[in-house]
Amino acid sequence: MNIGAPEILVLFSFVVLFVAAIAAVAITRGVRSGTPPRMPHPVSPQELDARVRHLAATGQPIHAIKLLRQHTGMGLKEAKDAVDGLAHGRPIRHPALQSPPAPQPARHTGDLASRVRALKRDGRADQAVFLVRGETGMDHDEATAFVDSVRDHPGTEAAPTGDA
């Protein structure tokens, strides 16, 4: 089989195109490697806020916008406005950047004996024992003795017996 000049030229053209395609992919990946690494999920609001502020302060607003969009679901304009606002001292306002509210202590109506009395009246004496244990740190036997000592009407409580 004889390969002439036209065939060699076509083969050479394919090789050049193949190498050019590989080079383009490598260059594209090289440019993309300059983006900040994805932060592991989930990140705390404080970590995300600090990272976005750092990127914006070091002249990388595009990376800050990308990071905000990845972690908050913000739209492009909203994220850009937020990053631009950092330069003017405005905080980023988004639910993903807000710390969760501190849990509020449970507010109980009435004293422990009143709540135990109500549970007993509803036929939930076991729940009353759990309530007493949770609020006082008593063990099961002590809490049961307390629940048993609470009477249906205030002021008629029996003194707990000490023979437990």
Per-residue pLDDT reduced to its tens digit, 28-54: 776 555 555 555 555 778 888 888 889
Using only C-alpha atoms, the chain has a radius of gyration, in whole angstroms, of 35
* pLDDT band (50, 70, 90) for residue 104: low
Decide which of 152 and 86 is more confident.
86
Residue 158 scores a pLDDT above 70: no
pTM: 0.40
Residue 63 scores a pLDDT above 90: yes
pLDDT computed for residue 41 by the predictor: 58
pLDDT computed for residue 46 by the predictor: 83
pLDDT computed for residue 65 by the predictor: 92
Whole-number Å distance between alpha carbons of 58 and 161: 71
Q: What is the DSSP string of the chain?
A: ----HHHHHHHHHHHHHHHHHHHHHHHHHHHHTTSPPPPPSS--HHHHHHHHHHHHHTT-HHHHHHHHHHHH---HHHHHHHHHHHHTTPPP--GGGSPPPPPPPPPPSS-HHHHHHHHHHTT-HHHHHHHHHHHH---HHHHHHHHHH--SSTT-PPPPPS--
Report the range out of 3-7, 26-30, 53-57, 92-96 with the highest average pLDDT: 53-57
Asked if 52 and 83 touch (Cβ cutoff 8 Å), the reply is yes
